Each structure stands twice: as C-alpha cells, then as structure tokens.
C-alpha cells in the first residue's frame, strides 16, 4: 500500500458529463487540477457527488485511467469502487490499484437490505483477495441513507481484525458525529473522514483525518485555510456555502454552482436518475454564494 496516507481537505469531486452522457475526461481533469491547486489535499473521484453508481464499470474505469494518463498525483486520489455485484467491485478496485490510486472507497453492496454481517464481510473479503497482488488501502463508505446498509462499529472491528491494515479508514456520510468519533477511536491507524467541512477544526485537533466533502468543490480555498491554519472565519464562510444547499438536491446543486464559478455551463450536466437543478434554486444559491464571497477573510 502507498506510504503516503490521505488526509486533510478532500473534495468529493463532481464528474463532468459530455453530450453523450459519459464522463468528460478533459473537464474532469481540469476541475481536479483546479481543486488540488486551490486548497484540496486530495480528491475522492467517483463518489456519490461523482455519480459513480450511475456509470457503467467501463465508464468508471475509463475515467480512472484518464486521471493517471493526465499525470494527476495519484497518491492524493481515492476512488469509489463499490458496486452491487462483488465481481464489479473487485474489478474496479483492482483497476484502481493497478493505476496507483491511494485508496479505494467501498460502498456496501446496496441492493439487498437487511443482509447479515457475514455477507458484508464476504464482500470485503472478495475485494481483499482480489487485490492481494497490489494491496490498495480500503476505505469503508458509510452512507446508510442511500445504501441502506451500515458499516456499523462491530462490523468495522471484525473487518479490521480479519484484514488488518488493508482496512485503512472510513468516510462517514451519515451525519452522526458520535458514530464518527467512536469509529475514529477504534485504532490510531484507522482514519475517519466525516462528510462535512464543519468538522475541520475538530479534525485538525486530531479527532479525524480530515473531511471528504461535496461542497469542497466550491469552497476548497476556504476549507484549505481552515485546515492549514485553523482559520475560523474561513471555516464559517465554507460552512455557510455548504448551508446554501440545505433542503436542495446536493449533487445537482454543486454542479450548477460549479458551472457558475468556472463559467462553463457544461459542468452543470447530471446523469439520470438525477435531474437538473431547478432554476429558482440555482439563482438563490448563486446569489448566496456571491454574497458570502464578497465578505473579507483576514
């Protein structure tokens, strides 16, 4: 596994989509370079904000390869490789390892609900066994509101006991901070990333390894100041930008704001089953964003 661990501000990078509904590699790479150069320590490629499960395995692999071919710093990138079929998850994780990604972010197999821990452990076991030749770090993706299946504490401990350092950490998108703190206490080597930049000062104090945030697509510079220097004003502004999306479709909203920020309407496109951000919401988010950005940060 990579000697350099992921940490700090990680944007759950949006996936630009071309006119044919496939990942737009050139736009994705441009956005990645912008984020890495403006406050992000790393990127989570093809996560929820990246609409991973809406793309085919071939499309996901193609974008993963494009990251490597573009010369992006692979030691700063994790990639979502979870899938409903274990064979797809194994193939995606093996491809990530071959390309040199720093970690694989793994959703549970999300179609069947109420499955026993034995089944989830077997799924992770298949991924571990399938990547023995190149043992990429595995980060569990805890998002029960969408997946319907939790990586609960006892199961995490079981996986760590079975597979050791291969189980490197967890992204917690549950919003349950007591759960995130409990998971972070499992081991010093187990890195937990809440999904909100609001945790950055707590993370900076040592509670977490950082954050993996959708809205870091739009406020990376502010998040970077909060993480690097403990800048509370910058963090307040970053959290205020995140708050603009409360009660609104987050992925479509982030992409609509990205289109505004980069003056590139193509960045707003989403993949079915998601739908375009409503025009009224777009206007409100842009107005709020501009107002927040007009404030001075010392």
Q: Is residue 141 annotated as a catalytic residue, yes or no?
A: yes
Cα–Cα dist 245/243, whole Å: 5
- Say if CB 267 and CB 259 are below 8 A apart: yes
Q: Is residue 5 annotated as a catalytic residue, yes or no?
A: no
| Cβ-based neighbour number of residue 33 at 10 Å | 14
Q: Which residue is catalytic, options 123, 139, 163, 171?
A: 171
Q: Which residue is catalytic, options 141, 163, 255, 289?
A: 141
Cα–Cα dist 268/94, whole Å: 31
141 bridge partner residues = 171
Cα–Cα dist 298/117, whole Å: 50
Nearest to 90 by CA among 80, 81, 99: 81
Cα–Cα dist 185/172, whole Å: 14
The tokens describing 12, both together, are 């759950």
Q: List active site positions.
A: 141, 171
């Amino acid at each position: 596994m990579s000697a350099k661990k992921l940490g700090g501000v990680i944007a759950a990078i949006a996936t630009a989509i071309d006119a044919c509904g496939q990942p737009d590699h050139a736009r994705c790479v441009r956005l990645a370079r912008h984020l890495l150069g403006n406050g992000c320590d790393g990127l989570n490629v093809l996560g929820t904000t990246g609409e991973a499960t809406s793309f085919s395995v071939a499309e996901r692999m193609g974008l993963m390869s494009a990251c490597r071919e573009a010369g992006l710093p692979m030691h700063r990138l994790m990639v979502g490789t979870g899938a409903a079929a274990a064979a797809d998850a194994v193939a995606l994780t093996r491809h990530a390892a071959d390309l040199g990604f720093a970690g694989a972010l793994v959703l549970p197999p999300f179609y069947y609900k109420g499955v026993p821990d034995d089944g989830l452990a077997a799924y992770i076991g298949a991924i571990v066994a399938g990547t023995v030749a190149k043992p990429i770090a595995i980060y569990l993706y805890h998002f029960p509101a969408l997946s319907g299946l939790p990586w609960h504490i006892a199961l995490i401990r079981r996986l760590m006991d079975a597979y050791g350092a291969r189980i490197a950490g967890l992204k917690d998108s549950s919003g349950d901070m007591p759960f995130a703190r409990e998971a972070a206490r499992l081991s010093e080597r187990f890195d937990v990333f809440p999904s909100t930049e609001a945790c950055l000062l707590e993370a900076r104090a040592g509670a977490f390894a950082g954050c993996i945030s959708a809205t870091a697509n739009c406020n990376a510079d502010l998040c970077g100041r909060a993480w690097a220097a403990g800048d509370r004003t910058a963090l307040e502004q970053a959290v205020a930008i995140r708050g603009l999306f409360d009660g609104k479709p987050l992925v479509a909203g982030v992409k609509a704001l990205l289109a505004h920020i980069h003056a590139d309407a193509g960045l707003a496109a989403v993949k079915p089953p998601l739908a375009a951000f409503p025009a009224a919401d777009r206007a409100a988010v842009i107005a709020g964003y501009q107002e927040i950005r007009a404030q001075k940060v010392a």
